[in-house]
A = this chain, B = another copy of it.
Amino acid sequence: MQFDKQNSYEISDLIHSSKTAILPVGAVEAHGPHLPLGTDNLLAERLSNLLAKRVNGLVLPTLPYGQVWSLRDFPGSLTLSNQTLTQMIVEIGESLFQQGIRLFVIVNGHYGNAVALKEAARVLYDSFQKNRVMCMFYPGTKKIIEEVRESPSVHDSYFHACELETSYMLYLANEYVDMSRAIQDIPEIPAETDISPTPWSQFTKSAVLGDATKATYDKGEKIILAALDEMERMILKAKDDLGC
């Protein structure tokens, strides 16, 4: 159910029966030769749509700009400051809660947004303690990822345009993937990268962090379904907690 495709005469009832708004947040960012700049937007949006069906959620229009510090120097990347992204989310949340939403689920498709989203969630927490904000970035997928991945992870926290993310795209937005151009480009990421501001251009030319050629629809399906299961579980529990 798309929030913005409803009209103002019916939306109140829908808000009342759902109580749950889902906001896809992505970014415009370099994703190598085989994936489009809008990869994170496509993933967040389609994941949100699948999630909405499971939890009777209302999907908001995708916020397609994110914080892209690490790849900001790559062609096509557009970036917001953390501060502006946080403020944007806070204000959207305030509107939603004033409209009667009780549970504001942010489906994040871009790891770099996590800090700004968490800050926004905390600001809203202080003002609306009877409601809840949840920021989801593929939760509950650790185990299944360990099972299905064939190429090694290049970093403890993030992945990018690699076997994993390309698999997600094959499952969720196949028509935007050009597997004929998928490459393997496994960077050596120095430990200093986590310690000191380091544009990724210092260790990759392609913006692919891993082996995209190993991506398959099947892997994507398995991981995404695991994520959806976990998101569904957490949302249903939250609605139960909130009594809605």
Tell me if A38 and B65 are in contact (CB < 8 A).
no
Q: Map CB proximity to B onto A107-138 as digits: 1 under 8 Å, 0 otherwise.
A: 00000000100110110010000001111100
A79-B95, A134-B196 known; A38-B61 Cβ under 8 A: yes
Range of interface residues on A (Cβ < 8 Å): 35 or more
Given the complex of chains A and B, what is the CA–CA distance between A75 and B72 in angstroms? 37
CA distance A148 to B184 in the complex (A): 36
Q: Which of B4, B119, B133, B192 contacts A238 (CB 8 A)?
A: B192
Task: Write the nearest CB–CB distance from A172 to chain B, whole angstroms.
Answer: 15
Q: Within 8 Å CB of A176, what residues of B?
A: 5
- In the complex, are the beta carbons of A119 and B61 less than 8 A apart? no
- Identical chains bound together, number: 6
- A203 interface hit (Cβ, 8 Å): no
Which A12-64 residues sit within 8 Å CB-CB of chain B?
12, 15, 28, 30-38, 41, 60-64
B12, B61, B62, B207: the one within 8 Å of A8 (CB):
B207
Find chain B residues with CB under 8 A from A28 CB.
Answer: 3-4, 60-61
Q: A84 is contacted by which of B30, B62, B77, B84 (Cβ under 8 Å)?
A: B84
CB distance from A174 to the nearest CB of B (A): 14
CB of A78 within 8 A of chain B?
Answer: yes
Residues of A within 8 A of B (CB): 2-9, 11-12, 15, 28, 30-38, 41, 60-65, 69, 72, 74-84, 87-88, 91-92, 95-96, 99, 115, 118-119, 121-122, 125, 132-136, 139-140, 176, 178, 191-192, 194-197, 207, 230, 234, 237-238
